Structures are given as C-alpha cells and as structure tokens.
A and B are shown apart, each in its own frame.
Chain A
Amino acid sequence: MPTKPAGTLYRGREGMWSWVGHRITGVVIFFFLLVHVLDTSLVRVSPEAYTAVIGAYKNPLMALGETGLVAAIVFHAFNGLRIIAVDFWKKGAKYQRQMLWTVLILWVIVMVGFSIRHLSLAFGGH
C-alpha cells in the first residue's frame, strides 16, 4: 500500500471543487439529519420535552447555524441537479463548468433571500 501517491489524479478547478463541496455538505447534512430525527422523536416523550429542546433552535446563535445548514442543503440540492444533468444530458459534461457557475449564482440568490427572512425572524425580537 503506497503511503504517498506518485502523482495526483486531482485536477482542480470547478469539477474537483464542486465534488469536494458536494461531499462535505452531504456529510454535514447527514449528521444533522440523524440529530433532527432524534429531536423530533421527543414528541413521543412529552410536549414539554419537545418544546424545550426545539426552543434551543430559536436561539439567535443557532439561527446562524441553521442558515449555514440551509446553505449546505441548497448547494447540495442545486449541485446535485447539475450532476444529474452531467450524467443524463448529452451536453452535460461539456457545460459542467457553466452549470457550476449557474448553481453558485442561484445559491447566492436563494441564500440572500433566506438569510434576510430567517435572520430577521431570529434577531427581530419576537
């Protein structure tokens, strides 16, 4: 088993970095999903247990974490659709780079909208 690869297969640029981003966001979302099913399961313990733990999500600091999580989900979703286009669309591989920039522009637009709405709710002092 070689401890150090002789050369590298990593090719950089849009193709590699979107793949890296897809892996990292995927793992983050998966671990949140495990926690989220557990916290939702508290509805079977008691109404107070659920409402108390869900209250932690309403903390303004947690709102920043939620915004980060939604940013991961939106990137993974849009880049996932790009991967499907690369695999199934005849010209997908040719335009993968342009599609990544489209993904990033849509991601910024959606995240600006989401952040304004969610953070103003969280910091708005309800």
Chain B
Amino acid sequence: MTATQIQSPRSGKPGAGLIAPKYRRTGGSRGNFEMAAWLFMRLSGVVLVVLIFGHLFVNLLVGEGIHAIDFGFVAGKWADPFWQFWDLAMLWLAMLHGTNGVRTIINDYAEKDSTRLWLKTVLYAATTVIIILGTLVIFTFNPCPLDANGVPLPGGFCPAP
C-alpha cells in the first residue's frame, strides 16, 4: 500500500494546492511595491533615530541650547559638508518615511476612491515641493547674502573686508 503524500502547502509540488495566478501575492502589476515600502519604513526608521537624535542633541542640548540658534548658527553648520549631508539625509528620509506613513493612513481611513486619490495627490505634491525646496536651500545657502545694491544684509555671516 502506498501512503498518501502530504505536501507542504504552496510548495508547488503536486497535491500541495497550487495558487491560481490571480491569488498570488507577487508578480502582479503592482510588483513588490508594498513590500519595498514596508522594508523602507524599517530601514529608514533606524537611520532616522540616529539622525534626529543627533540633530536634537546638537541643536537643543549642547551649549546654550535653543538660545544659540540664529542665522549664524545655521551658517556655521552648513559651512561643513558633514552637516549639509546630515541634514540632506534627514530631509529625504524623514519626508519619504512620513509621506509613506500618511499614505498608509489615507488608504486606511478614506473609503471613497476619489477621496483617496485627491488626498494622495495633495500629499505627493506637498512632499515634492518640500523635498526640492529643502534640498535647494541646503546647497544654495549663502552665509553672506547681499541686497540689490550689493551691500551685505544685516545679520549675515560675512568675511571681514
């Protein structure tokens, strides 16, 4: 007598219950986007803990804390490429992490298709504007801005003439 072979479910072997194409979780037109987004939240989350705790420590706890923050403080930090890239990484990762989080919340609570579409359109537009604006500000920052007549604006961080 031959014993009945019981296969692991979904192992692809005969009798294991092959999944019809329309029920498979991979290979659809959406690809693995949701899985990539899930993984991104965890990877970016770990990096953001380091970046944001460092940001808060250096800006709020060291020295005079918040009292030290003014134009000159920002100029001093962004004179160093280390802080430029720290802030750039923080901007991109935090915006993408936050946008994906809000996208999830919209998908969860907005029941009408058109409502979800509009909320997500506004969300993606805001994200694009903020990321581009922030990136330009970090890399086009001028510690010694001049007015229309070429005179340094008050409060700037200009080299001694």
- Seen from chain A, the residues whose Cβ lies within 8 Å of a Cβ on chain B are 1, 23, 26-27, 29-30, 33-34, 37-38, 40-41, 43-44, 46-48, 50-51, 54, 57-58, 63, 66, 70, 73, 77, 80-81, 83-84, 87-88, 114, 117-118, 121-122, 126
B60 at the interface (CB under 8 A from A): yes
**Is A81 within 8 A of B60, CB to CB?**
no
**Is A34 within 8 A of B130, CB to CB?**
yes
The residue on A at minimum CB distance from B153 is A46
Measured in the bound complex, the distance between the Cα atoms of B70 and A23 in whole Å is: 32
The residue on B at minimum CB distance from A40 is B137
Measured in the bound complex, the distance between the Cα atoms of B47 and A75 in whole Å is: 16
**Is B91 within 8 A of A37, CB to CB?**
yes
Q: B111: which A residues are within 8 A, CB to CB? A: 1
B15 at the interface (CB under 8 A from A): no
- Seen from chain B, the residues whose Cβ lies within 8 Å of a Cβ on chain A are 42, 45-46, 48-49, 52-53, 56, 60-61, 64-67, 69-72, 74-75, 91, 94-95, 98-99, 101-102, 105, 111, 126, 130, 133-134, 136-137, 140-142, 145, 153-157
Query: Could you tell me the dominant secondary structure of chain A's interface residues?
Result: helix
The answer to whether residues A47 and B67 also contact, given A30-B101, A33-B95, A70-B56 and a CB cut-off of 8 A, is: no
Interchain Cβ contacts within 8 Å, total number: 112
Interchain CB contact (< 8 A) of A58 among B67, B71, B130, B145: B67
**Is A81 within 8 A of B49, CB to CB?**
yes
Q: B75: which A residues are within 8 A, CB to CB? A: 43
Interchain CB contact (< 8 A) of B137 among A27, A41, A63: A41
Shortest Cβ distance from B157 into chain A, in angstroms? 8
Query: Could you tell me the dominant secondary structure of chain B's interface residues?
Result: helix
The residue on B at minimum CB distance from A50 is B71
**Is A114 within 8 A of B61, CB to CB?**
yes
Q: A43: which B residues are within 8 A, CB to CB? A: 71, 74-75, 137, 141
Shortest Cβ distance from A113 into chain B, in angstroms? 9
**Is A80 within 8 A of B45, CB to CB?**
yes
Shortest Cβ distance from A61 into chain B, in angstroms? 13
Interchain CB contact (< 8 A) of B145 among A41, A46, A87, A122: A46
The answer to whether residues A118 and B66 also contact, given A27-B105, A81-B46 and a CB cut-off of 8 A, is: yes
Measured in the bound complex, the distance between the Cα atoms of B91 and A37 in whole Å is: 8
